[in-house]
């Protein structure tokens, strides 16, 4: 409760506040940010959400989306953002525990004079914040935002837009409530949000039933042509070239969740998708059971996240990255076969 007491004192009078989250925000990152934005505005704070990069179109329905600044959108947006960050008195850092996750915003945030407040549930906390609400057992950062509002004594300020943003974050980060992080408390939180009056089915449709034709065709292509299965390692993966992404008019979010199709195969406990981007190879890892993709990503691919869901990157070519990935599998064969 010490962190709550410090935060209450910090927010006792209206402040200039920045809320930021990780690159390529997902529903938890943006949902928790916009839920917190809606809450803080009710106290008269001057609040600005700034994301390091763009995010999927299927998240644009969230209340407050029109007010978000995308840092890397243009030189002008970078200049405006840097000024807002420099003048901020409080900076909330949501859904990441390492400033490397917010490049190219990491330096402005790191050197800002503002008090930094962390809300996150990922492993690998680098301890850069002044006040922390960090719980790796939480299902989502959106759950931590809900807890924060309740612990601040402001349950009465939860409205439908805030509740919908929180629900979106918890819904997606629990895999529609099927991941092990779905605790009894999660269901009680969701029940509370539904009591407020959210339309859960509509939120689900906004996120999952908003596909473009190109995305569905890309999914079919990936499953038919790019899925590699290694049953001797209980592993499956995709490796996608930049040309293949372009041929399906790839947009941010189009590859979201595709790695889970590999993990859905019978007897597979480890899955990955490697995508060739202009600056590096971006990788998403998923697993079942005791195999920690957080440790795997941290040790071999400059990444991290959760035990069963993590990200990473490689500065090698796509072919070299695939070769490195396959060379590692025999090292982990016994662990994978037991998972």
DSSP letter at 225?
A: I
Contacts of residue 327, defined as CB under 8 A and 6 or more positions apart, other chains included, come to none
Whether the pTM exceeds 0.85: the reply is yes
Q: CA-CA-CA-CA torsion for 70, 79, 303, 164, nearest 10 degrees?
A: -30
The H or E element spanning position 199 is none
User: Using 50, 70 and 90 to split pLDDT, how confident is the model at 324?
Assistant: very high
Q: β-strand 90-94 against 115-120: which pairing, if any?
A: parallel
Per-residue pLDDT tens over the stretch 48-78: 999 999 999 999 999 999 999 999 999 999 9
Cβ neighbour number for residue 124 with a 10 Å cutoff: 19
pLDDT at 227: 98
pLDDT at 1 > cutoff 90: no
pLDDT attached to residue 124 = 87
The pLDDT, as a whole number, for residue 179 is 87
Distance CA 280, CA 314 (A): 6
CA atoms within 13 A on the CB side of 75: 0
- pLDDT value at residue 162: 98
What span, in angstroms and rounded, lies between the C-alpha atoms of 3 and 14?
19
Cβ-in-10-Å burial (0-12, 13-18, 19+) of 11 comes to middle
The overall longest dimension of the chain from CA atoms, in Å, is: 60
Token duo for residue 207: 């996120």
What average pLDDT score do residues 25-54 get?
A: 97
Q: What angle do CA 265, 268, 272 make, to 5 degrees?
A: 90
Crossing angle for the helix pair 141-151 and 184-196, to the nearest 10 degrees = 70
Q: What is the mean pLDDT of residues 256-271?
A: 95
pLDDT of residue 329: 97
Residues 71 and 102 sit within 8 Å (Cβ to Cβ) = no
Residue 339 clears pLDDT 90, i.e. is over it = no
**Quick one: DSSP state of residue 226?**
I
How confident is the model over 197-255, as pLDDT tens digits? 999 999 999 999 989 999 999 999 999 999 999 999 999 999 999 999 999 999 988 89
- Other C-beta atoms closer than 10 Å to the C-beta of 37 total 24
> Please, what is the average pLDDT of the chain?
96
Cα gap 240→126, rounded to integer Å: 31
Do 122 and 304 meet the contact criterion of CB atoms below 8 Å apart? yes
Question: How do residues 110-121 score in pLDDT, each as one tens digit?
Answer: 999 999 999 999
Q: Map tokens 């299902």 to a residue.
A: 139
In the β-sheet with 235-240, what is the strand arrangement from edge to edge? 227-230, 235-240, 270-276, 281-287, 309-314, 304-305
Over 70: is that where the pLDDT of 152 sits?
A: yes
Please give the pLDDT value at position 122: 93
Q: Is 214 in contact with 230 (CB distance < 8 Å)?
A: no
Terminal Cα-to-Cα distance of the chain (whole angstroms): 38
| Higher-confidence position of 253 and 1 | 253
Neighbours of 318 (CB within 10 A): 17
Mean of the pLDDT values across residues 90-114? Answer: 96
263-290 burial: b if 16+ Cβ within 10 Å, else e = beeeebbbbbbbbbeeeebbbbbbbeee
């Amino acid at each position: 409760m010490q962190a709550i007491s410090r935060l209450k004192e910090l927010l006792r009078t209206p402040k200039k506040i920045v809320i930021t989250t990780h690159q390529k925000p997902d529903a938890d990152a943006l949902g928790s940010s916009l839920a917190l934005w809606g809450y803080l505005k009710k106290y008269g704070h001057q609040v600005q959400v700034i994301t390091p990069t763009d995010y999927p179109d299927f998240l644009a329905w969230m209340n407050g989306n029109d007010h978000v600044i995308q840092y890397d959108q243009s030189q002008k947006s970078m200049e405006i953002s840097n000024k807002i960050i420099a003048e901020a008195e409080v900076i909330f850092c949501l859904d990441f525990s390492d400033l490397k996750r917010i490049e190219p915003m990491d330096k402005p945030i790191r050197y800002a004079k503002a008090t930094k407040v962390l809300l996150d549930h990922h492993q690998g906390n680098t301890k850069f914040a002044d006040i922390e609400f960090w719980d790796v057992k939480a299902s989502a950062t959106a759950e931590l935002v809900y807890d924060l509002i309740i612990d601040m004594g402001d349950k009465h300020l939860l409205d439908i837009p805030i509740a919908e943003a929180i629900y979106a974050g918890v819904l997606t980060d629990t895999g529609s409530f099927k991941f092990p992080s779905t605790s009894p408390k999660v269901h009680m939180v969701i029940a509370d949000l539904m009591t407020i009056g959210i339309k859960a089915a509509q939120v689900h449709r906004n996120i999952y039933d908003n596909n473009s034709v190109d995305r569905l065709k890309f999914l079919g292509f990936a499953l038919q042509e790019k899925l590699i299965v290694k049953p001797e390692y209980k592993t499956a993966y995709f490796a996608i070239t930049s040309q293949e992404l372009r041929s399906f008019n790839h947009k941010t979010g189009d590859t979201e969740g595709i790695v889970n199709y590999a993990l859905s195969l019978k007897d597979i406990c480890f899955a990955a998708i490697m995508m060739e981007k202009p600056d590096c190879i971006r990788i998403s890892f998923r697993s079942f059971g005791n195999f920690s993709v957080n440790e795997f990503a941290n040790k071999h691919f400059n990444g991290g996240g959760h035990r069963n869901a993590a990200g990473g990157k490689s500065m090698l070519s796509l072919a070299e990255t695939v070769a490195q990935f396959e060379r590692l599998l025999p090292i982990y064969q016994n662990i994978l076969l037991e998972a």
